[in-house]
């Protein structure tokens, strides 16, 4: 798989840096538009009907003066600021909070078998996304002469094994997509953005699955970042 990442581009959603204090308190999701983990949180809020309670605000993890580092000492995105000023991170905690806020048992099933299947798929998809981001960072932050091919190959192999497993046995798609299904869609979308959809030719079943997901979740198209 290639290592060079595609350039970032604007997203359709607006991330506001300075929320209007005159507006009633809302949850604030702090991130960057292209973050697959922020997209996962927004899609979760969307399928749960919570977007009207959620404001999006840009965060710069590389800016030492950004309040993100006070909101999350790790300085990582996304971070969720709740109306009382407390914060939650990372995306897995945020989506669980959204599910709780929406009444529970909606995107994280209550029934044990379905619950752990959804959480397992989320872990797989998030792990693929983590590996993918590490490959992107290798290209972004290191000069070409300092790239460590053994390291990027190690990350790419994780992604290839996971894609092969998912293509062999594609996941189901719930009437309200669960956290695992949302996380997988966000990984595939991020793959399209950063690696020009190089997974598609080898994974026709997953392509069809993602098309069904996109048809079910309009926010998936609304949050797309185009290369």
Confidence of residue 20 (pLDDT cuts 50, 70, 90): low
pLDDT in tens, 139-154: 888 888 888 999 999 9
Q: Which helix (H) or strand (E) covers residue 27, if one does?
A: strand 27-31
Question: Averaged over 199-220, what is the pLDDT?
Answer: 98
Between CA 127 and CA 121 the distance in angstroms is: 10
Average pLDDT over residues 105-115: 98
pTM above 0.85, yes or no: yes
Q: Is the distance from CB of 77 to CB of 61 less than 8 angstroms?
A: yes
All domains of the chain in start order, with CATH: 112-217 (1.20.1050.10)
CA distance 139 to 151: 12
Question: Residue 22: what pLDDT?
Answer: 54
β-bridge mates for residue 56, sequence order: 29
- pLDDT beyond 80 at 118: yes
CB proximity list for 158: less than 8 A, separation 6 or greater: 127, 128, 131
Question: 226 falls in which pLDDT band (50, 70, 90)?
Answer: confident
Name the 3-class secondary structure at 202.
coil
pLDDT in tens, 39-81: 999 999 999 999 999 999 999 999 999 999 999 999 999 999 9
């Amino acid at each position: 798989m290639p290592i060079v990442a595609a350039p970032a581009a604007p997203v359709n959603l607006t991330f506001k840096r300075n929320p209007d204090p005159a507006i009633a308190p809302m949850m604030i999701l702090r991130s960057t538009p292209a973050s697959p983990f922020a997209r996962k949180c927004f899609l979760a809020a969307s399928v749960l009907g919570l977007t009207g309670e959620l404001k999006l605000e840009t965060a710069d993890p590389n800016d030492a003066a950004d309040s993100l580092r006070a909101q999350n000492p790790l300085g990582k995105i996304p971070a969720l600021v709740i109306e009382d000023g407390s914060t939650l991170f990372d995306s897995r905690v945020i989506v669980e909070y959204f599910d709780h806020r929406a009444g529970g048992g909606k995107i994280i099933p209550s029934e044990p078998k379905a619950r752990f299947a959804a959480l397992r798929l989320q872990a797989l998809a998030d792990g693929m996304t983590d590996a993918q981001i590490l490959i992107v960072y290798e290209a972004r932050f290191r000069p070409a002469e300092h790239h460590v091919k053994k390291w990027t190959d190690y990350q790419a192999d994780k992604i290839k094994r996971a894609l092969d497993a998912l293509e062999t046995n594609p996941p189901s798609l719930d009437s309200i997509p669960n956290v695992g299904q949302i996380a997988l869609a966000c990984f595939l979308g991020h793959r399209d953005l950063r690696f020009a959809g190089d997974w598609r030719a080898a994974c026709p079943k997953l392509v069809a699955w993602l098309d069904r997901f996109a048809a079910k979740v309009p926010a998936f198209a609304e949050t797309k970042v185009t290369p």
